[in-house]
Amino acid sequence: MGSGLLHTVRASDHILAELTARVAELETERGLTLRLAQTDSLTGLVNRGAFTTELCQRLETARAKGRRLALFVVDLDRFKQLNDTLGHHAGDLFLAEIGERLRCDCGAGELVARLGGDEFALIADAGDGDISGRAERLLALLTQPHIIYGRAVSPGASVGVAVFPDDAGDAGDLQRFADMALYRVKTAGGRRWSAFDAELRDENERRRTLEAELRRAIPAGEIEPWFQPVVDSRDGRIVGVEVLARWRHPEQGLLTPAAFVPIAEELGLIGRIDEAVFEAGCRLAAPWVKDGLIEVVSFNVSPRDLLDPAFSRKLIGRLAKTDLPATALTVEITETFLLQDMALSRRHIERLNAKGVRIALDDFGTGYSNLRALMHLPIQTVKLDRSLICDVASDPKVAKLVASVLHAARALGVRIVAEGVEEESQAIFLRASGCERMQGYWFARPMPADQMAMALRQSQAATPRVLTPEPQRRRASA
């Protein structure tokens, strides 16, 4: 071999070595990046994304080997309180401590993760027996107090469990079922663990059925608008209607929103329901406005709809396709959304106001920060919540509060509608306190369009009546 060739070989050796080193370096870097992408930075545990991937893989292995796996989901109780009282830094310290405890306690082959916030998860071998021992140990570990800033804190924890393959055959169901078990513990006060069981399986079936039925019901036109009169306090004349959704279920009969609005929100179907109710509601109520029978038609919108930046523009577009004048339309909004995103709320409200549409703040008196919304946003109407109205005639403190809210509203130029007026004494008090408008069972319950049309014609024919509400007449004739 000539020296030239030898030199070339040496040089290529050198290059090769350098290349190998560089590749190794890159791989470490990539590994590090990969690890960082899979790790929760606060606790050093696996994060949600990596956990889900890992869960799927482990389920495959378990399936192949005929093994059982348990998925535990953990949610700390009252963690928000700890955060609020001791500050976020203390909250972080506590989460890191919980992460450390879980990691140290983790058996061979087990995996712990932080799913986000104060939620953790554990995958463990379920063996042949029951998982209660493992669940008890997990709960005990989480309830031990921890010293932060010299104070012992123990917010406690709730745990939900589901087992593969006993409860579910795939990762999605397993997670959902463990969450359902956790949710049940949480709503019962927490500090316990619970396994997915027959009761939850039934609930899951019911939800599944409801979900499928709801998807079918919307295009089938089974969701319909009902109407509840809003009356003028001075003479009891009907001046407006609130449109309320009803589901005419083929087997279960008429369903109120409590039975389907929460699940529709969860499934992202509420927008379509609101749209259907709006379209049909406008079509039915526009002639009443045109004939001068009512001035106001109000609709409820879900806070979810309002998160859509195009919500107001879409609503204006939809309104233009109906015969309802914009000035007759009121959109009822709850404060939950308003305070979540003030800037977006303001944009929606201003866009609607510019067209002549009014905004009502719904369920006033139930939240903490209603006054803030009222002061900072251009709101035209406030709907006093039923919970305030029901004690207005019996509790002098509530009466004083309502009277001062009415006074403040007058000062701000905001109209008040009292909701849920069920008794004459309440109506008399509200009228005497200067509340302009009322709504409630005392006057009329929500009713379908044909009945509403009839009631309007009757109220037009009758001479103005001073609070001669329906139940009274019903009672008198009974």
- The CA distance from 222 to 247, in Å, is 6
Residues binding ligand C2E: what is the number (CB under 6 A)?
Answer: 25
Are 305 and 271 in contact, with CB atoms under 8 Å apart? yes
- The CA distance from 442 to 420, in Å, is 8
Residues in CB range of 27: below 8 A, 6 or more apart: none
Instruction: Encode 124-154: b = buried (16+ Cβ within 10 Å), e = exposed.
Output: bbbeeeebeebbeebbeebeeeeebeeeebe
Residue 446 near which of ligand C2E, Ca ion, none (CB within 5-8 Å, type-dependent)? ligand C2E
Nearest CA to 243 out of 294, 291, 282 is that of 282
Task: Return the range that interacts with ligand C2E (CB under 6 A); candidates 41-49, 230-238, 433-441, 469-477.
Answer: 433-441
Q: Does 40 bind Ca ion (CB under 5 A)?
A: no
Are 467 and 236 in contact, with CB atoms under 8 Å apart? yes
Taking only Cα atoms into account, the Rg of the chain, rounded to an integer number of angstroms, comes to 31
Residues binding Ca ion: what is the number (CB under 5 A)?
Answer: 4
Task: Return the range that interacts with Ca ion (CB under 5 A); candidates 288-296, 347-355, 362-370, 429-437.
Answer: 362-370
Task: Return the range that interacts with Ca ion (CB under 5 A); candidates 186-194, 297-305, 312-320, 398-406.
Answer: 297-305
Are 352 and 331 in contact, with CB atoms under 8 Å apart? yes
User: Least distance (Å) from Ca ion to the CB of residue 267?
Assistant: 22
User: Of residues 256-295, which lie at the interface with ligand C2E (CB under 6 A)?
Assistant: 256-258, 261, 270, 274, 277
Pick the closer one to ligand C2E by CB: 138 or 452.
Answer: 452
Residue 423 near which of Ca ion, ligand C2E, none (CB within 5-8 Å, type-dependent)? none
Q: Does 224 bind Ca ion (CB under 5 A)?
A: no
Task: Return the range that interacts with ligand C2E (CB under 6 A); candidates 15-23, 146-154, 319-327, 438-446.
Answer: 438-446
Are 207 and 263 in contact, with CB atoms under 8 Å apart? yes
- The CA distance from 211 to 224, in Å, is 18
Pick the closer one to Ca ion by CB: 274 or 362.
Answer: 362
**Diameter of the chain measured on Cα atoms:** 123
Alpha carbon separation from 363 to 134, 242, 390 (Å, rounded): 45, 13, 13
Cis preceding-peptide flag for 145 (omega within 30 of 0): no
Q: Does 362 bind Ca ion (CB under 5 A)?
A: yes
Residue 184 near which of ligand C2E, Ca ion, none (CB within 5-8 Å, type-dependent)? none
Site track for ligand C2E across 293-332, x = CB under 6 A: -------xxx-----------------------------x
User: Least distance (Å) from ligand C2E to the CB of residue 376?
Assistant: 22
Pick the closer one to ligand C2E by CB: 277 or 282.
Answer: 277
Continuous segment of H or E residues that includes residue 350: helix 342-354
Q: Does 363 bind Ca ion (CB under 5 A)?
A: yes
- The CA distance from 318 to 297, in Å, is 15
Residue of minimal CB distance from Ca ion? 332
Task: Return the range that interacts with ligand C2E (CB under 6 A); candidates 180-188, 192-200, 402-410, 420-428.
Answer: 420-428
Residue 257 near which of Ca ion, ligand C2E, none (CB within 5-8 Å, type-dependent)? ligand C2E
Q: Which of 76, 139, 195, 244 binds ligand C2E (CB under 6 A)?
A: 244
User: Least distance (Å) from Ca ion to the CB of residue 362?
Assistant: 4
- The CA distance from 170 to 59, in Å, is 7
Residue 365 near which of Ca ion, ligand C2E, none (CB within 5-8 Å, type-dependent)? none
Alpha carbon separation from 82 to 33, 151, 182, 380, 476 (Å, rounded): 33, 11, 20, 38, 57
- The CA distance from 440 to 236, in Å, is 12
Q: Does 440 bind ligand C2E (CB under 6 A)?
A: yes
- Residue-by-residue DSSP string for 74-105: EEETTHHHHHHHH-HHHHHHHHHHHHHHHHHH
Q: Does 420 bind ligand C2E (CB under 6 A)?
A: yes
- Residue-by-residue DSSP string for 290-325: HTTS-SEEEEE--HHHHTSTTHHHHHHHHHHTSS--
Task: Return the range that interacts with ligand C2E (CB under 6 A); candidates 14-22, 89-97, 208-216, 418-426.
Answer: 418-426
Q: What is the dihedral of CA 388, 392, 396, 401, to 10 degrees?
A: 40
| Number of Cβ atoms within 10 Å of the Cβ of 157 | 24
Pick the closer one to Ca ion by CB: 75 or 362.
Answer: 362
Q: Which of 118, 274, 305, 332 binds Ca ion (CB under 5 A)?
A: 332
- The CA distance from 323 to 281, in Å, is 11
Q: Which of 75, 335, 363, 436 binds ligand C2E (CB under 6 A)?
A: 363
User: Of residues 366-395, which lie at the interface with ligand C2E (CB under 6 A)?
Assistant: 386
Pick the closer one to ligand C2E by CB: 139 or 269.
Answer: 269
Q: Does 305 bind Ca ion (CB under 5 A)?
A: no
Binding region for ligand C2E (CB under 6 A): 228, 244-245, 256-258, 261, 270, 274, 277, 300-302, 332, 362-363, 386, 419-422, 439-441, 446
Binding region for Ca ion (CB under 5 A): 300, 332, 362-363
